[in-house]
């Protein structure tokens, strides 16, 4: 029976991927390795098949713990584990370097030592920097790296380590990159759950700058299907950009949420812009579409409805997450519950 070692599998995207594997790969076992930092949540794993899913609490920077948890025969390591919030990286970059860079190298070393068949690294479009506003250009797999935040720089460094492991040691690696994910169970420091949460509670929604920054949105399950396709059929050493061709201005996303929840636009509050705020992200997914046959299944409208409905129906989960450390952090930074993207 194939065994996948998934790091960060209690987080938003990682848990969605584990759920997909358990539902679609019925002959596969998953070892789910997660440090359970503020964004990791065991509630995300509720209902998983315990016969094929085993959770291990551990840190990817701890080499001995990784080797102890890694099965003797492992078909793939899929690395979701990361510090991922840009604002936090601007405030303090150390944890991002430790987890995203050093942790990735620990996993690569473990993969080589245990002869793991394939290493899949989950990256971000932010490694490629910012695109011109009102332009027709897109990020492709050949776009140069130009990270503009400590978070993006740490993810770019991790990608370089993955490339080096493939080139120098012959490790079978695949990298995937995507834009802004949205969907159920996302920690409410992130763009959409923050807006939904604040709107449901009648609280103001801080928006950076003029709100015209553009992001490329993808429903989390579509992203996970792309990762699974790349893991199964991707070319060794390749990188695949996973995008839904869904560019939206931040202000338009906020207005979509307010309209769906029947809340007034007056809840929007424009705040001082983030330092070095990237203006536009846009992904060209042509390679994964043509080579692996992947295409998104959700539209923006259908994915947004599913997302809002889930948060409306899971207020207990949302309040548990809202009560976490992010509230104090954002109050200190912005005098509010945080600005969006």
Asked if residue 219 lies in contact with residue 284, where contact means CB atoms within 8 angstroms, the answer is no
Asked if residue 175 lies in contact with residue 121, where contact means CB atoms within 8 angstroms, the answer is yes
Query: How wide is the angle at C-alpha 39 spanned by C-alphas 276 and 201, nearest 5°?
Result: 85
Active-site annotation holds for 113: no
Q: Which of 151, 208, 281, 330 is labelled catalytic?
A: 151
The token duo for 191 is 């763009």
Active-site annotation holds for 151: yes
HEC assignment per residue over 308-322: HHHHHHCHHHHHHHH
Find how far residue 7's CA is from the centre of its chain: 12
Active-site annotation holds for 189: no
Q: Which of 125, 221, 247, 298 is labelled catalytic?
A: 125
* DSSP type of residue 60: T
What does the alpha-carbon distance between residue 266 and residue 324 come to, in Å, rounded to a whole number? 26
Calculate the alpha carbon distances from 147 to 96, 124, 140, 216, 279 in Å: 14, 10, 15, 17, 13
Calculate the alpha carbon distances from 329 to 12, 83, 91, 212, 316 in Å: 20, 15, 10, 25, 21
Find how far residue 216's CA is from the centre of its chain: 13
Q: Which of 34, 87, 126, 189 is labelled catalytic?
A: 126
End-to-end CA distance of the chain: 41
Active centre residues (catalytic)? 125-126, 151
């Amino acid at each position: 029976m194939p065994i996948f070692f998934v790091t960060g599998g209690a987080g938003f995207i990682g848990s969605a991927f584990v759920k997909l594997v358990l539902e679609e790969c019925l002959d596969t076992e998953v070892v789910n390795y997660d440090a359970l930092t503020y964004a990791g949540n065991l509630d995300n794993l509720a209902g998983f098949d315990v016969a094929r899913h085993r959770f291990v609490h551990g840190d990817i920077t701890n080499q001995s713990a990784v080797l102890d948890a890694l099965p003797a025969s492992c078909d793939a390591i899929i690395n979701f584990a990361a510090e991922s919030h840009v604002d936090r990286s601007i405030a303090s970059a150390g944890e991002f370097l430790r987890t995203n860079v050093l942790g990735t190298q620990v996993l690569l070393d473990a993969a080589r030592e245990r002869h793991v068949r394939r290493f899949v690294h989950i990256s971000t479009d932010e490694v490629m920097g910012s695109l011109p506003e009102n332009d027709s250009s897109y990020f492709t797999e050949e776009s140069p790296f130009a990270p503009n935040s400590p978070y993006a720089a740490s993810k770019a460094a991790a990608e370089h380590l993955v490339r080096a492991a493939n080139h120098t040691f012959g490790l079978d690696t695949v990298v995937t990159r995507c834009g802004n994910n949205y969907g159920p169970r996302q920690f409410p420091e992130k763009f959409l759950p923050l807006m939904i949460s604040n709107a449901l509670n009648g609280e103001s929604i801080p928006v950076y700058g003029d709100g015209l920054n553009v992001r490329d949105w993808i429903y989390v399950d579509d992203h996970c299907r792309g990762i699974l396709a790349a893991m199964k059929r991707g070319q060794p050493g390749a990188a695949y950009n996973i995008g839904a061709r869904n560019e939206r201005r931040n202000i338009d996303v906020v207005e979509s949420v307010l309209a769906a929840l029947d809340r007034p636009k007056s809840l929007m509050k424009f705040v001082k812009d983030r330092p070095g705020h990237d203006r536009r992200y846009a992904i060209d997914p042509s390679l994964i579409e043509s080579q692996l046959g992947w295409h998104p299944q959700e539209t923006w409208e259908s994915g947004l409805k599913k997302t809002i409905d889930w948060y409306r129906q899971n207020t207990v989960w949302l309040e548990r997450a809202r009560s976490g450390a992010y509230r104090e952090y954002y109050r200190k930074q912005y005098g509010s519950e945080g600005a969006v993207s």
